Amino acid sequence: MKMKILVVYYSLTGNTRLIAETAARKLGAEIEELRDRKSRIGIRGFVTGGLDSLRKKRAELAPPRYDIRDYDLVLVGTPVWAWNMAPAVRAYLTGRPWEGKSVALFCTTGGTGQQKTLDGMAALVSPARILGREAFCRVERNPAENLARLNKWLAAMVNPDEEKK
Protein backbone atom coordinates (compact mmCIF):
# COMPACT_ATOMS: atom_id res chain seq x y z
CA MET A 1 0.00 0.00 0.00
CA LYS A 2 1.17 3.51 -0.79
CA MET A 3 2.71 5.28 2.18
CA LYS A 4 1.44 8.76 2.99
CA ILE A 5 4.41 11.08 3.12
CA LEU A 6 4.76 14.69 4.23
CA VAL A 7 7.82 16.88 3.65
CA VAL A 8 8.16 19.81 6.06
CA TYR A 9 10.88 22.43 5.75
CA TYR A 10 12.04 25.93 6.51
CA SER A 11 14.26 27.83 4.09
CA LEU A 12 15.50 31.39 3.96
CA THR A 13 17.67 31.39 0.85
CA GLY A 14 16.27 28.43 -1.11
CA ASN A 15 18.73 25.58 -0.49
CA THR A 16 16.51 23.60 1.85
CA ARG A 17 13.54 24.41 -0.39
CA LEU A 18 15.29 22.87 -3.41
CA ILE A 19 15.96 19.64 -1.52
CA ALA A 20 12.47 19.55 0.02
CA GLU A 21 10.63 20.25 -3.23
CA THR A 22 12.69 17.70 -5.13
CA ALA A 23 12.10 15.08 -2.45
CA ALA A 24 8.36 15.77 -2.37
CA ARG A 25 8.12 15.51 -6.15
CA LYS A 26 10.03 12.24 -6.24
CA LEU A 27 7.99 10.71 -3.43
CA GLY A 28 4.59 12.05 -4.45
CA ALA A 29 4.43 13.67 -1.00
CA GLU A 30 2.58 16.69 0.37
CA ILE A 31 4.83 19.61 1.20
CA GLU A 32 4.68 22.15 3.99
CA GLU A 33 6.87 25.25 4.15
CA LEU A 34 7.22 26.65 7.66
CA ARG A 35 6.78 30.41 8.02
CA ASP A 36 8.67 32.17 10.78
CA ARG A 37 6.73 35.27 11.79
CA LYS A 38 9.99 37.05 12.60
CA SER A 39 11.83 38.66 9.68
CA ARG A 40 15.14 36.94 8.99
CA ILE A 41 16.11 39.20 6.14
CA GLY A 42 19.28 41.32 5.93
CA ILE A 43 22.17 41.65 8.36
CA ARG A 44 19.83 42.11 11.29
CA GLY A 45 17.91 38.97 10.36
CA PHE A 46 21.17 37.04 9.98
CA VAL A 47 22.44 38.09 13.40
CA THR A 48 19.18 37.57 15.29
CA GLY A 49 18.57 34.32 13.37
CA GLY A 50 21.99 33.02 14.39
CA LEU A 51 21.54 34.11 18.00
CA ASP A 52 18.02 32.71 18.29
CA SER A 53 19.22 29.38 16.90
CA LEU A 54 22.23 29.28 19.19
CA ARG A 55 19.98 30.01 22.18
CA LYS A 56 17.62 27.24 21.04
CA LYS A 57 14.70 29.64 20.70
CA ARG A 58 11.48 28.49 19.08
CA ALA A 59 10.04 30.74 16.41
CA GLU A 60 6.45 31.84 16.33
CA LEU A 61 5.03 29.95 13.36
CA ALA A 62 2.11 30.58 11.07
CA PRO A 63 -0.24 27.61 11.68
CA PRO A 64 0.81 24.56 9.62
CA ARG A 65 -1.66 23.23 7.03
CA TYR A 66 -1.02 19.55 7.45
CA ASP A 67 -1.26 17.31 10.49
CA ILE A 68 1.49 14.73 10.99
CA ARG A 69 -1.09 12.30 12.35
CA ASP A 70 -2.34 11.84 8.78
CA TYR A 71 1.06 10.63 7.51
CA ASP A 72 3.15 7.47 7.81
CA LEU A 73 6.46 9.17 7.09
CA VAL A 74 7.45 12.77 7.74
CA LEU A 75 10.64 14.28 6.27
CA VAL A 76 11.82 17.43 8.04
CA GLY A 77 14.48 19.78 6.68
CA THR A 78 16.28 22.79 8.11
CA PRO A 79 19.16 25.06 7.23
CA VAL A 80 22.00 24.97 9.77
CA TRP A 81 22.07 28.27 11.63
CA ALA A 82 24.89 28.78 14.09
CA TRP A 83 25.45 24.98 14.31
CA ASN A 84 21.78 24.41 15.15
CA MET A 85 18.41 23.94 13.48
CA ALA A 86 16.54 27.12 12.57
CA PRO A 87 14.07 28.40 15.21
CA ALA A 88 11.10 27.64 12.92
CA VAL A 89 12.06 23.96 12.76
CA ARG A 90 12.68 23.77 16.50
CA ALA A 91 9.19 25.21 17.06
CA TYR A 92 7.65 22.72 14.64
CA LEU A 93 9.38 19.64 16.06
CA THR A 94 8.69 20.50 19.69
CA GLY A 95 5.69 18.86 21.28
CA ARG A 96 4.20 17.16 18.21
CA PRO A 97 2.85 13.59 18.53
CA TRP A 98 5.90 11.79 17.10
CA GLU A 99 5.18 8.49 18.79
CA GLY A 100 4.66 5.74 16.21
CA LYS A 101 5.79 7.94 13.28
CA SER A 102 8.60 7.27 10.87
CA VAL A 103 10.75 10.31 10.35
CA ALA A 104 13.63 11.33 8.08
CA LEU A 105 15.74 14.36 8.95
CA PHE A 106 17.86 16.53 6.70
CA CYS A 107 19.73 19.78 6.81
CA THR A 108 21.53 22.05 4.38
CA THR A 109 24.72 23.73 5.49
CA GLY A 110 27.80 25.65 4.49
CA GLY A 111 29.77 22.73 5.89
CA THR A 112 29.68 22.94 9.68
CA GLY A 113 27.20 22.01 12.40
CA GLN A 114 25.36 19.29 10.50
CA GLN A 115 25.83 16.49 13.06
CA LYS A 116 24.88 18.68 15.98
CA THR A 117 21.84 19.94 14.09
CA LEU A 118 20.66 16.45 13.14
CA ASP A 119 21.27 15.19 16.69
CA GLY A 120 19.16 18.07 18.03
CA MET A 121 16.34 17.25 15.63
CA ALA A 122 16.50 13.55 16.48
CA ALA A 123 16.15 14.36 20.18
CA LEU A 124 13.00 16.41 19.53
CA VAL A 125 11.22 13.71 17.50
CA SER A 126 11.94 10.97 20.03
CA PRO A 127 10.39 8.33 20.23
CA ALA A 128 9.77 8.38 16.46
CA ARG A 129 11.53 5.82 14.30
CA ILE A 130 14.27 7.63 12.39
CA LEU A 131 14.59 6.11 8.92
CA GLY A 132 17.37 8.38 7.76
CA ARG A 133 19.36 11.54 8.38
CA GLU A 134 21.33 13.43 5.78
CA ALA A 135 23.25 16.68 5.34
CA PHE A 136 23.53 18.57 2.06
CA CYS A 137 26.54 20.86 1.85
CA ARG A 138 26.81 24.07 -0.21
CA VAL A 139 23.73 23.28 -2.26
CA GLU A 140 23.92 26.61 -4.10
CA ARG A 141 27.39 25.73 -5.40
CA ASN A 142 26.84 22.04 -6.10
CA PRO A 143 23.15 21.51 -6.86
CA ALA A 144 23.64 18.49 -9.16
CA GLU A 145 25.87 16.68 -6.70
CA ASN A 146 23.44 17.32 -3.86
CA LEU A 147 20.41 16.20 -5.87
CA ALA A 148 22.24 12.97 -6.74
CA ARG A 149 22.93 12.53 -3.04
CA LEU A 150 19.24 13.12 -2.32
CA ASN A 151 18.22 10.43 -4.83
CA LYS A 152 20.48 7.90 -3.18
CA TRP A 153 19.26 8.84 0.27
CA LEU A 154 15.59 8.53 -0.68
CA ALA A 155 16.14 5.24 -2.46
CA ALA A 156 17.79 3.82 0.66
CA MET A 157 14.67 4.68 2.70
CA VAL A 158 11.74 4.09 0.40
CA ASN A 159 11.30 2.99 -3.17
CA PRO A 160 10.54 6.33 -4.88
CA ASP A 161 9.09 4.66 -8.01
CA GLU A 162 6.79 2.59 -5.87
CA GLU A 163 5.64 5.72 -3.99
CA LYS A 164 4.77 7.60 -7.18
CA LYS A 165 2.32 4.94 -8.41
Ligand X SMILES: Cc1cc2nc3c(=O)[nH]c(=O)nc-3n(C[C@H](O)[C@H](O)[C@H](O)COP(=O)(O)O)c2cc1C
Please give the residue ranges that form the binding site for ligand X (CB under 6 A). Answer: 11-17, 46, 49-50, 79-83, 108-113, 139
Other Cβ atoms closer than 10 A to 129:
13
Our CB check for ligand X shows the closer of 21 and 163 to be: 21
Q: How many Å separate Cα 145 from the centre of its chain? A: 19
Rounded to the nearest whole angstrom, what is the least distance from the CB of residue 96 to ligand X in the complex?
21
Rounded to the nearest whole angstrom, what is the least distance from the CB of residue 114 to ligand X in the complex?
7
CA distances from 112 to 1, 29, 33, 116, 150 (A): 39, 29, 24, 9, 19
Our CB check for ligand X shows the closer of 82 and 150 to be: 82
The 10 Å CB-count burial string (b at 16+, else e) for 48-79 is: bbbebbeeebbbebeeeeeebeebebbbbbbb
Our CB check for ligand X shows the closer of 6 and 20 to be: 20
Our CB check for ligand X shows the closer of 102 and 118 to be: 118
Rounded to the nearest whole angstrom, what is the least distance from the CB of residue 102 to ligand X in the complex?
23
Residue 47 exposure: Cα atoms within 13 Å on the Cβ side: 3
Rounded to the nearest whole angstrom, what is the least distance from the CB of residue 19 to ligand X in the complex?
8
